A and B are shown apart, each in its own frame.
Chain A
Amino acid sequence: MTTALFSEDQRDALQELTNIGMGQAGASVAAVLGEFVQLSVPRILVLKPSLIPPALERIVGPEKVTAVRQGFHGDLRGEAVVVYGVAHCRELADLMGYDEVPDEATEHELLLDVSNVLIGACLGGLAEQISAEMGFSAPSLMATEVEVGSLLDVSRMDSPCALFVEVNFSLEKRSFACHLIMLLPEDQILVLRDAIDRFLASL
């Protein structure tokens, strides 16, 4: 793990900012889903691309997963991935107030929707903290029912390292849970670091 890109102070600040951002996200997601959302303390790692899949595997466990990716752009540019355990996907319909068992297209639409909500809320929360402007591209289905390890094709990542921020969501009354991972390429890590510095200076 190379967190050397961040000083101790910057790292703490980032932790704090994501925490606050996520807290707000939790509140707005709860407002949408009508259920209280529990968020983990974000895990922040700077990793070489080849180490991302094993890190994911460690976090998610050995089950098969379905994942949605969404790009974000503007002051910060990167990709967010929401990873669902296959069993949890089925709960989404119920969660989103569908009565019948959804067909595949509906189930996928739900996945995209929920992912969009989670990513928008979390990244929006973070962006607000560091006063960054951010836009989102349409979310897309990355893979359905695959091994976690094969989710990301790291051979195609050309950034030497990436910021890996992981939060997991769970609902108080249900077993539903998923993981949100934000990936920033190296040049964007520097942008984020400057933003953190500005934030620290403004205190």
Chain B
Amino acid sequence: MTELTHGELGGFIADRVEIGVFAVDVEFKVTLWNRFMATHSRHSAADVLGRNLFEVFPELPRSWLERKVRHVQALRNYAFTSWTQRPYLFRFDHNRPITGGVDAMRQNCTFLPVKNEAGEVVQVCVTVQDVTDNAIAHEELAASMAEIEREKAEQRKLIGELAQAQNQLLQSEKLASIGQLAAGVAHEINNPIGFVNSNLGTLASYVDELMVVLDAYTGAHDQIPESLRSAIDAQIKGVDLDYLREDLVNLVTESRDGLDRVKKIVQDLKDFSRMGESEAAWADLHHCLDTTLNVVANEIKYKAEVVKQYGELPEIECVASQLNQVFMNLVVNAAQAIAEQGTITVSTGTEGEQVFVSVRDTGAGIPPEVLKRIFDPFYTTKPVGTGTGLGLSVSYSIIERHGGRIVVNSKLGEGTEFKIWLPLHYPAAKTDDS
């Protein structure tokens, strides 16, 4: 066996190595074309050598390649390309004819300056390395990373939604249990209120009758014998009969007022616990609003100017009496939040499939620690006897029953806006409803 010379060995390896190796001179005439290049390009060395590279491969990115080679010549230095930016230099079939995954062989290329004795770059040698397997692995990894990122984002969103749902659940649960309690209390109170009310009625008429009798006696006062009269006078004086007569009537009236208030509270409680539910029907919300504003006009006219900004509203299916109650609560709250003089703006409109009603005031605003609790039943910041703290929680449950939602937006010192969204249709009754 004859020995290979160093040069022969080098030539053999350059030809057979599993990497594409080729060289061009400054005119892009091909001076070296190894087997890898020949097999993959289907152009044999004999076919390519001595010819212009771009003539054999017109599809090559010519100006880019020329610039690259020029750099190598000018700087007498290496240059590189990576598949991540430029998938391939030559469009070769890849080594995965069966399993596939990419359209063509991914390539990393190195451009090396071939220098003469004087150190000038006379040719540029290019190696073409098949990195398809790496590229596919890399891309699969990137795809799974992206998938994981996407899932993470989804999870974050779900967690957010869950927290929100839990909040809502908590709120409706609170309302539901309060509702049960309220239903019980309302029921229990209703009976005694019933007979106290009728007794008071009877009492009032008895008092009237007694007064008539008393008047008759008083008229006959002078005919009473002297001996008895002084004793009676003393007794009349002792009980201060004039005052008593006056106060008796007042007491009855006040009691009836008080009872009316209790009845209103029980009514609120009933509404709150759905006891007062009635049928939903198609109604014009503008009409509801106008009626409500008329009812409360007297209460608010010294405090606030009411500005109506009505948009176009279709009729919606709702329990108008309940919505009236909501609007009334909001408008009264707004007026109560205004200390001296302000504006209450009532605006309406549609958003997507829903209609909205907004009540905005220029009042005191709601501090954050209060804001958290305003929908809680019996929560009030108003003096005892002024507010029951049921207004907003009743409103909340009414809106919820209508399949809508209510949100509040408040800036301390600037004012508050309550905004209600309602669907066009009243939700179908749940079958498990008791």
Report which A residues bind B (CB closer than 8 A): 28-29, 31-32, 96-97, 105-106, 108-109, 112-113, 116-117, 120-121, 124, 135-136, 138-141
B82 and A140 contacting across the interface, CB-CB below 8 Å: yes
B85 and A120 contacting across the interface, CB-CB below 8 Å: no
Q: Which partner residue on chain B sits nearest A110 by CB separation?
A: B85
Other A-B pairs, 8, CB within 8 Å; known A112-B85, A138-B108: A31-B74, A32-B74, A108-B85, A109-B86, A117-B79, A120-B78, A124-B76, A124-B77
Q: Which partner residue on chain A sits nearest B63 by CB separation?
A: A97
A138 and B74 contacting across the interface, CB-CB below 8 Å: no
Interface centre among A29, A113, A121 (most CB of B within 10 A): A113
Q: How far is the CB of B89 from chain A (nearest CB, A)?
A: 12
Report which B residues bind A (CB closer than 8 A): 67-68, 70-71, 74-82, 84-86, 108, 110
Q: Name the 8 nearest CB pairs between A and B, nearest first.
A: A120-B77, A109-B85, A138-B80, A105-B85, A108-B85, A136-B78, A31-B74, A28-B75
A105 and B86 contacting across the interface, CB-CB below 8 Å: yes
Given the contacts A32-B70, A138-B108, A138-B110, A117 and B84 also touching, CB distance less than 8 Å: no
Report the separation of the CA atoms of residues A124 and B110 in the bound assembly, to the nearest whole angstrom.
Answer: 17
Given the contacts A108-B85, A109-B85, A138-B108, A116 and B76 also touching, CB distance less than 8 Å: no
B82 and A112 contacting across the interface, CB-CB below 8 Å: yes
B79 and A108 contacting across the interface, CB-CB below 8 Å: no
Q: Which partner residue on chain A sits nearest B119 by CB separation?
A: A128
Residues of A within 8 A of B110 (CB): 138
Residues of B within 8 A of A121 (CB): 75, 77
B74 and A112 contacting across the interface, CB-CB below 8 Å: no
Residues of A within 8 A of B75 (CB): 28-29, 32, 117, 120-121, 124
B74 and A28 contacting across the interface, CB-CB below 8 Å: yes
Residues of B within 8 A of A116 (CB): 77-80
Report the separation of the CA atoms of residues A34 and B362 in the bound assembly, to the nearest whole angstrom.
Answer: 67
Q: Which partner residue on chain A sits nearest B81 by CB separation?
A: A109
Report the separation of the CA atoms of residues A189 and B169 in the bound assembly, to the nearest whole angstrom.
Answer: 68
Interface centre among A28, A97, A116 (most CB of B within 10 A): A116
Residues of B within 8 A of A112 (CB): 80, 82, 85
Report the separation of the CA atoms of residues A117 and B78 in the bound assembly, to the nearest whole angstrom.
Answer: 9
Report the separation of the CA atoms of residues A181 and B84 in the bound assembly, to the nearest whole angstrom.
Answer: 24
Report the separation of the CA atoms of residues A10 and B367 in the bound assembly, to the nearest whole angstrom.
Answer: 71
Residues of B within 8 A of A140 (CB): 82
Report the separation of the CA atoms of residues A69 and B79 in the bound assembly, to the nearest whole angstrom.
Answer: 14
Given the contacts A28-B74, A32-B70, A32-B74, A113 and B79 also touching, CB distance less than 8 Å: yes
Report the separation of the CA atoms of residues A139 and B77 in the bound assembly, to the nearest whole angstrom.
Answer: 13
B71 and A32 contacting across the interface, CB-CB below 8 Å: yes
Report the separation of the CA atoms of residues A121 and B78 in the bound assembly, to the nearest whole angstrom.
Answer: 10
Q: Which partner residue on chain A sits nearest B129 by CB separation?
A: A138
Of A109, A117, A124, which one neighbours B71 at CB under 8 angstroms? A117
Interface centre among B75, B76, B86 (most CB of A within 10 A): B75
Report the separation of the CA atoms of residues A148 and B68 in the bound assembly, to the nearest whole angstrom.
Answer: 30
Report the separation of the CA atoms of residues A18 and B118 in the bound assembly, to the nearest whole angstrom.
Answer: 24
- 10 pairs, CB–CB < 8 Å, chain A vs chain B: A97-B67, A105-B86, A109-B85, A113-B68, A113-B71, A113-B79, A116-B77, A116-B78, A136-B77, A136-B78
B85 and A135 contacting across the interface, CB-CB below 8 Å: no
Q: How far is the CB of A169 from chain B (nearest CB, A)?
A: 14
Residues of A within 8 A of B80 (CB): 112, 116, 138-139
Q: Which partner residue on chain B sits nearest A120 by CB separation?
A: B77
Report the separation of the CA atoms of residues A139 and B85 in the bound assembly, to the nearest whole angstrom.
Answer: 12
Residues of B within 8 A of A113 (CB): 68, 71, 79
Residues of B within 8 A of A106 (CB): 85
B82 and A138 contacting across the interface, CB-CB below 8 Å: yes
Q: How far is the CB of B128 from chain A (nearest CB, A)?
A: 13
Report the separation of the CA atoms of residues A117 and B113 in the bound assembly, to the nearest whole angstrom.
Answer: 13
Interface centre among A121, A138, A141 (most CB of B within 10 A): A138
Report the separation of the CA atoms of residues A130 and B138 in the bound assembly, to the nearest whole angstrom.
Answer: 40
Residues of B within 8 A of A109 (CB): 81-82, 85-86
Residues of B within 8 A of A29 (CB): 75
Q: How far is the CB of B88 from chain A (nearest CB, A)?
A: 13
Residues of A within 8 A of B86 (CB): 105, 109
Q: How far is the CB of B61 from chain A (nearest CB, A)?
A: 11
Residues of A within 8 A of B82 (CB): 109, 112, 138, 140
Report the separation of the CA atoms of residues A28 and B74 in the bound assembly, to the nearest whole angstrom.
Answer: 7
B77 and A135 contacting across the interface, CB-CB below 8 Å: no
Of A28, A32, A105, A135, which one neighbours B78 at CB under 8 angstroms? A135
Q: How far is the CB of B130 from chain A (nearest CB, A)?
A: 15
Report the separation of the CA atoms of residues A29 and B75 in the bound assembly, to the nearest whole angstrom.
Answer: 8
Residues of A within 8 A of B76 (CB): 124
Q: How far is the CB of B113 from chain A (nearest CB, A)?
A: 10
Q: How far is the CB of A79 from chain B (nearest CB, A)?
A: 15
Q: Which partner residue on chain A sits nearest B70 by CB separation?
A: A32
Residues of A within 8 A of B108 (CB): 138
Report the separation of the CA atoms of residues A201 and B159 in the bound assembly, to the nearest whole angstrom.
Answer: 72
Report the separation of the CA atoms of residues A50 and B97 in the bound assembly, to the nearest whole angstrom.
Answer: 50
Report the separation of the CA atoms of residues A109 and B71 in the bound assembly, to the nearest whole angstrom.
Answer: 14
Interface centre among B70, B71, B110 (most CB of A within 10 A): B71
Report the separation of the CA atoms of residues A166 and B67 in the bound assembly, to the nearest whole angstrom.
Answer: 28
Report the separation of the CA atoms of residues A35 and B161 in the bound assembly, to the nearest whole angstrom.
Answer: 57
Residues of A within 8 A of B84 (CB): 105, 108, 141
Interface centre among B70, B77, B81, B86 (most CB of A within 10 A): B77
